[in-house]
Structure 1
Amino acid sequence: MRLRNTLVRVGVLIACLVTAFLVPRTDAAPEASGVEKQSPFGIAANLGNRVRTDEQRAMVALMREAGVQWAREEISWDRVQLERGGPYRWDGDHAGMYNYDAAISLQREAGIQVLGLLAYNPAWFKSKNPTLDEWIDDWGDYVYNVVARYGRDRKQIRHWEVWNEPNLRRFGYEHGVYTIDEFVRILKVARAAIKAADPQATVVLGGLYDIWGPIPTPEDYDSLDYLRLLHAAGGWQTFDILALHPYRPGPPEAVLHRRGPDMSFPDELRTLDLLMAQFGPKPVWLTEIGWSSFTGVFGVPEMEQAAYLQRMYVQALAHPSIEKIFWYDLRDDTSADVPYDQPIYDQFEEQFHYGLLRRHFPLDIADATLRKPGYLAYRALTDVLGGMRLEAIVANGQHPDIPGIFWYRFTDGIRRTEIIWQFGSTAAADIIIPCGCSEARIRTWNGMLHKVVRTEAGQLLGRVEPGGIPIIVEHGPDKVQHEPLSAATGHGLGATFAQFWKTRGGLVHFGYPLTGELIEPDGRTGQARVVQYFERARFEHVADVPAGTSAVQLGRLGEMALQRAGTRWETLPRRHKGDPGCRLFPETGKQVCPPLLRWWQQHGELPRHGLPLTDAFTQNGQIVQYFERSRLEWNAKQGPASRLHLGLIGNELYGSWNRWE
């Protein structure tokens, strides 16, 4: 929940130009006692308030696909209890909204932990400006009943956030909390009620919002100022976990004006550490963070939103005191004044575009326009960093050898993942990664494989392009290990694809695996899919295929290879009539002829190889023909058993020696 029109953008100047390969000094990862970083990936889902009951199951499936570990669920007092002393309505209204029982149960059944949000003042005092004394006892009853139901009795929620952004007039003063002293009373009553209902529960401070630029009213406070005043008012011991909403009017790395010292995001965290050193240390949760992709002064393009997400998460995970980060929010919002099945899409409205999913009705998880780049960026992070911890901050933008480079190394003790990007420069930077590895996988921001690099002397050379788009470098064993087919590649057959490989041609047709199983986005819908790369093919697992159809198909590497070579098959001459003995495909205007035709017919035809994109032609003494998913090669000089085979298209597209670009 954000305040608009209070942010001030300022210019950011970081000069960097790296022209030589450099190996930076590595700073060891800092540590903080009592901080748990095993499940840091959260989302502000708010299913009960924002997703109708009939669509909640599909939304939870999308959360699982994204790798969400924690969800923030607001259980609004004015929605569960409509009148003083009245019953609590846990299962929603006649329109299918506010069904907290269903929302919380579905998320917990999916293995997603829930942070319960307790807020605001009661329905019977809305717009009446009551004193706190008039409803503070009722507040305690509401908190006790919610925690007793979902904590003590159902054991679904053990962490409770008390209020939301109390430092803002919009959510503090306008909801009946007129002073900091009154909010301390809210906290004390809430803590007592929470602990009475569930002694094992943990209390989280209502997330405090960062204000950039002038303070708009006397009832608004910047987050850091509010913490100082909260401590002075005796509120520091009322919560176990400190929560922030560090929204920023610019990139995470930018040094922005904040009335006092200018601050980057890491600067803000260091200032917070100094406060906690004085007042008492606590774990920190970022229970909201995000950028809106709306069209306006403070909006960012969707691709920039995705890059900011990854960079913010990585920098937050690298800070010792931060445990969890919740992106705000899961899905783009719409106006509260329109029917649920008629959402408004307004590209100029900031509040409608913080989500990772676009707003559609009905919700269709296979919709090609549903997932924004931010969703793919979030899922890629949860995939490559799940179960890992920070090992080192190699560079933080100010390293003298590689200025402007941000480079963080994570490990699970066996594998390593490096997240690297460049900020503030227009020149590419060349770096050396002393990985001590024989092979590394270079993946793009959305998890797609870019290169498999074989190394020499355990060093990996690479290029980091400007623009702030992170690259992902993985080295070490596969995430899920299988018996290697060859010592040369070190990779085995993934369980998803082993049977297909063995029964459809094996080594002769597909070659050795270049990777283990990976998670990548489907090229059309963005849905997560399991893939594995081989020397001659890419295997893709496709869910929900028709009966009798293989769930494994080959990726469109033939089309990709033509594109990489600068050839657009659509511009090639089209045939309108096939030659004798050949088969013409009107869809592409190409034909398949002997000696390739019979092999193509016997080894999968269209489902395996796709449509022909070129006619057969002679290249390097052999007959070659490109299909959507493969390249067939016929060499008369070879023996009959190996005369016709698939080209080494996987090696050509993804293999590299020593470096990537």
Structure 2
Amino acid sequence: MLATRWLRLLLVSTTLLSGLALPVQPAAAARDPASWPEFFGIVGRDPWYEFNTDPERYPVELNRAFLESMMAEMAALGARWVRIEFHAEYDRAPGPGWIDWDKHDWYLWDLAPRYGMKVLTVLGSGILADVDPTYAFSRIDEPPDREGRNHYTRAFVERTAEIVGRYGAALAAVELLNEPNANELLWEETGGRVHAVRPEIYGRLAVDVYETVKQRSPSTRVIAGSLLFDRHADGDRHLAWLEAVYQSPAVQDYRNRTGRYPWDALSLHPYFLPDAGSVLAVVRELRALQLAYGDTTPIWLTEVGLPADPPAWSPAGVLQPTASELAQAAFLRQVYTLIWEQAPEVERVFWFKFEDFGTSHGYASWGLVRLLDSGMVYGREAIPWPRKPAFLVYQQLARPEAVPTSRVPRPDDPAVRYFPQTGHTLRGPFRRYWEQNGGLAAFGYPLTEPFWSGGRLVQFFERARFEYWPEYRGTPSEVQLAHLGRWALGDRSFAPEPPPERLGPDERYFPETGFVVRGAFLRYWEQNGGLARFGLPISPEFREVNPADRKEYTVQYFERARFEWHPEARGTLYEVQLGLLGTQALATLGWYR
């Protein structure tokens, strides 16, 4: 019997790897275009971790400001599903811990529904406490009784009943364990001796959890598997493990009794793969195994991602993407588009994850954003900065109308000025500043709607980026221009000029940076806002090819602008023009920080 089982396993695995056993349906035959928004999930931060982290405003309760700002940003991103995990409390022994409902109620009953977010929660090892060694996760593999259960799995099902019984349909889906075929905690607790939950035990647990969930909340979907793909270490051992689950007595008995399997979908974590095509190949391997056992339930990718480190902070707010950021953005776009187009069996894709998170070694940089003031302990509120280019790509796919560069309809509000040339608006302090400081000639048309960057409201124009500084409300500094001149100058630097022995009447030396401004540039600087508007000179005059028209001009860089001399307009208001630095910034992937 054992030899027959392993021979069958070898044959199935060989067929899968050869790629010959995959029935592929055209995506158009299986996909409903209306399901596209539901395709997008994100792994978020568990509310359990944000309890009493802001004791000044939220003593001994959830940090609601932090969690709500994160939820709002995930919704703006276009995610329709968020994946979190339940955790028990570990401070009351003996016993399997206890669930502090105060750490979950508001998030599940109020916050997520208000933002239209469906919740997938992981029922992992954390739902039982580990103070009492009886409930250490390693006990899950203890020999089962005649019914296929043991002390740990019975407690796990009881805790599942508590959780689902309380929240019901507020849990749109639950996921049974995290990476049970290659579990890090199990490996640690057993000193490297055990790597996986025994398939026959997992099969019994899958049946018990499925029946328990459906009795209490029929609409809650049960997601099994959470298979970690790690071909570097495991080959295709995740498929061998899953086949053993299919063959387990409890799963076979359930199928014989009901005509179906005890899950609504199988999940996969396709890490350690070089590109989206490899992710698709692994999905097809899994689908072939499902179909070999007559399982037509969909597949969910409940974790997929690629780490990326953002660049250092810049006062311009526009940061050139790092190589790893560009790779992350390309990988995200390819995974979502390729899986949607060629793997209609995949119903959901959850990107891992929304935010970078602190570890003992610094940052785990898997997120789409890094949180302002974040570190080992996050700040009072989850202010996303910097966003990575992958954030922009995700939003372009999932909710393109929310991207700040997307055109908006003309608003029915006389206080708002609309520009049909670009499809954008001007309002409030930004409109006042634009109109009072040169308007179209000085700044050009708006190229975005206002959006938040690093906790500050900003808006791009052809020649500038406006920033709103509420701490200076009612003063000339309420609206300021970003340091786009410094950004556009990049890593180019110029040696400061020594102080001239004698200055002409149309020259001015700036000792702060060591440069002279003269002639038409000086007149424009002085007559149009000077230091407050343009900042200090950061280069001498020099010749440069203009990126906009590919012509060469005499230019000089200031902190907030690039002055260009146009001799063909000598003697007019357009002799000196500001470079199109806003347009230039929006041509990069670093503007949406």
TM above 0.5, yes or no, is yes
- Compared with structure 1, are the counterparts of its residues 361 and 616 closer, same or farther at alpha carbon in structure 2 (3 Å cutoff)? same
Cα deviation 1:489-530 (Å, max 9, x = unaligned)? 5544455854543343222223345x444879x6xx6x7975
Q: CA separation in 2, counterparts of 1:580 and 1:614?
A: 19
After the TM superposition, which residues 321-400 of structure 1 pair with which residues of structure 2 at under 5 Å, given as runs? 321-330=345-354, 344-345=360-361, 354-355=366-367, 357=370, 360-364=375-379, 376-387=388-399
The one-letter code of the counterpart of 1:480 is V
Q: CA separation in 1, counterparts of 2:185 and 2:95?
A: 21
The one-letter code of the counterpart of 1:538 is A
Equivalent in the alignment of 1:443:
none
Equivalent in the alignment of 2:100:
89
Instruction: Confirm or deny: 8 A CA contact 2:325 2:388 kept in the other structure.
Output: no
The one-letter code of the counterpart of 2:30 is A
Query: Which SS does the other structure have where 1:570 is aligned?
Result: coil
Q: CA separation in 2, counterparts of 1:353 and 1:559?
A: 27
Query: Which SS does the other structure have where 2:338 is aligned?
Result: helix
After the TM superposition, which residues 497-536 of structure 1 pair with which residues of structure 2 at under 5 Å, given as runs? 497-513=430-446, 515-517=447-449, 530-534=458-462
Cα deviation 1:56-104 (Å, max 9, x = unaligned)? 543653564462543211113565986559864223xxxxxxx334655
Cα deviation 1:431-482 (Å, max 9, x = unaligned)? xxxxxxxxxxxxxxxx999xxxxxxxxxxxxxxxxxxxxxxxxxxxx44244
C-alpha displacement of 1:160? 1.6
Q: CA separation in 1, counterparts of 2:143 and 2:291?
A: 37
Cα deviation 1:585-639 (Å, max 9, x = unaligned)? 3222224456554543443333322222345689999986432332445678859
Instruction: Confirm or deny: 8 A CA contact 2:239 2:289 kept in the other structure.
Output: no
Unaligned runs of 5+ in 1: 1-26, 92-98, 254-263, 295-299, 335-342, 389-411, 416-446, 450-477, 657-661
| 2:86 equivalent to 1:75 | yes
Equivalent in the alignment of 1:629:
560
Q: CA separation in 1, counterparts of 2:299 and 2:179?
A: 15
C-alpha displacement of 1:268? 2.1
- Compared with structure 1, are the counterparts of its residues 597 and 365 closer, same or farther at alpha carbon in structure 2 (3 Å cutoff)? farther
Instruction: Confirm or deny: 8 A CA contact 2:119 2:173 kept in the other structure.
Output: yes
After the TM superposition, which residues 140-159 of structure 1 pair with which residues of structure 2 at under 5 Å, given as runs? 140-151=157-168, 155=170, 157-159=171-173
After the TM superposition, which residues 99-110 of structure 1 pair with which residues of structure 2 at under 5 Å, given as runs? 99-101=103-105, 104=108
Q: CA separation in 2, counterparts of 1:37 and 1:209?
A: 25
Query: Which SS does the other structure have where 1:207 is aligned?
Result: strand
> How many residues end up aligned between the 2 structures?
494
Cα deviation 1:295-315 (Å, max 9, x = unaligned)? xxxxx9666455444443443
| 2:54 equivalent to 1:126 | no
Instruction: Confirm or deny: 8 A CA contact 1:207 1:242 kept in the other structure.
Output: yes
Q: CA separation in 2, counterparts of 1:652 and 1:48?
A: 40
Q: CA separation in 2, counterparts of 1:491 and 1:73?
A: 38
Q: CA separation in 2, counterparts of 1:610 and 1:31?
A: 59
The one-letter code of the counterpart of 1:628 is E
- Compared with structure 1, are the counterparts of its residues 572 and 282 closer, same or farther at alpha carbon in structure 2 (3 Å cutoff)? farther
Equivalent in the alignment of 2:36:
37
Q: CA separation in 2, counterparts of 1:577 and 1:365?
A: 53
Cα deviation 1:239-265 (Å, max 9, x = unaligned)? 223211112253444xxxxxxxxxx22
- Compared with structure 1, are the counterparts of its residues 287 and 83 closer, same or farther at alpha carbon in structure 2 (3 Å cutoff)? farther
Q: 2:512 aligns with which of 587, 591, 594?
A: 587
Q: CA separation in 2, counterparts of 1:651 and 1:332?
A: 28
Query: Which SS does the other structure have where 1:140 is aligned?
Result: helix
Equivalent in the alignment of 1:247:
271
| 2:176 equivalent to 1:162 | yes
Cα deviation 1:262-294 (Å, max 9, x = unaligned)? xx2222223334445552433322111234679
Equivalent in the alignment of 1:207:
226
- Compared with structure 1, are the counterparts of its residues 625 and 146 closer, same or farther at alpha carbon in structure 2 (3 Å cutoff)? same
Q: CA separation in 2, counterparts of 1:249 and 1:630?
A: 43
Query: Which SS does the other structure have where 1:141 is aligned?
Result: helix
Same amino acid, percent of matched pairs:
23
Q: Which has the higher helix share?
A: 2
Q: CA separation in 1, counterparts of 2:585 and 2:100?
A: 56
Q: CA separation in 1, counterparts of 2:556 and 2:307?
A: 46
- Compared with structure 1, are the counterparts of its residues 321 and 172 closer, same or farther at alpha carbon in structure 2 (3 Å cutoff)? farther
Equivalent in the alignment of 1:272:
286
Instruction: Confirm or deny: 8 A CA contact 1:288 1:326 kept in the other structure.
Output: yes
Equivalent in the alignment of 2:577:
646
Q: 1:284 aligns with which of 299, 308, 331?
A: 299
C-alpha displacement of 1:578? 7.8
- Compared with structure 1, are the counterparts of its residues 353 and 652 closer, same or farther at alpha carbon in structure 2 (3 Å cutoff)? closer
After the TM superposition, which residues 462-481 of structure 1 pair with which residues of structure 2 at under 5 Å, given as runs? 478-481=406-409
| 2:120 equivalent to 1:115 | yes
The one-letter code of the counterpart of 2:165 is A
After the TM superposition, which residues 527-546 of structure 1 pair with which residues of structure 2 at under 5 Å, given as runs? 530-534=458-462, 537-542=463-468, 546=472
Q: CA separation in 1, counterparts of 2:82 and 2:91?
A: 19
Instruction: Confirm or deny: 8 A CA contact 1:287 1:325 kept in the other structure.
Output: yes
C-alpha displacement of 1:159? 1.8
Q: CA separation in 2, counterparts of 1:346 and 1:510?
A: 41
| 2:575 equivalent to 1:570 | no
Instruction: Confirm or deny: 8 A CA contact 1:60 1:110 kept in the other structure.
Output: no
Q: CA separation in 2, counterparts of 1:448 and 1:570?
A: 35
The one-letter code of the counterpart of 1:246 is P
- Compared with structure 1, are the counterparts of its residues 528 and 63 closer, same or farther at alpha carbon in structure 2 (3 Å cutoff)? farther
Deviates more, 1:243-252 or 1:579-588: 579-588
Instruction: Confirm or deny: 8 A CA contact 1:79 1:89 kept in the other structure.
Output: no
Q: 1:603 aligns with which of 528, 536, 540?
A: 528
Q: CA separation in 1, counterparts of 2:561 and 2:233?
A: 60
Unaligned runs of 5+ in 2: 1-24, 55-62, 310-322, 412-416, 545-550, 588-593
Q: CA separation in 2, counterparts of 1:646 and 1:344?
A: 51
C-alpha displacement of 1:119? 2.5
Equivalent in the alignment of 1:183:
202
Equivalent in the alignment of 1:402:
none
Cα deviation 1:544-575 (Å, max 9, x = unaligned)? 65333666544444445555xxx935335353
Q: CA separation in 1, counterparts of 2:510 and 2:105?
A: 55
Equivalent in the alignment of 1:238:
262
Cα deviation 1:14-44 (Å, max 9, x = unaligned)? xxxxxxxxxxxxx996452579330444333
Q: CA separation in 1, counterparts of 2:553 and 2:159?
A: 78
Cα deviation 1:379-400 (Å, max 9, x = unaligned)? 1123211247xxxxxxxxxxxx
Instruction: Confirm or deny: 8 A CA contact 1:576 1:586 kept in the other structure.
Output: no
C-alpha displacement of 1:201? 1.9
Query: Which SS does the other structure have where 2:503 is aligned?
Result: coil
The one-letter code of the counterpart of 1:47 is D
C-alpha displacement of 1:485? 7.5
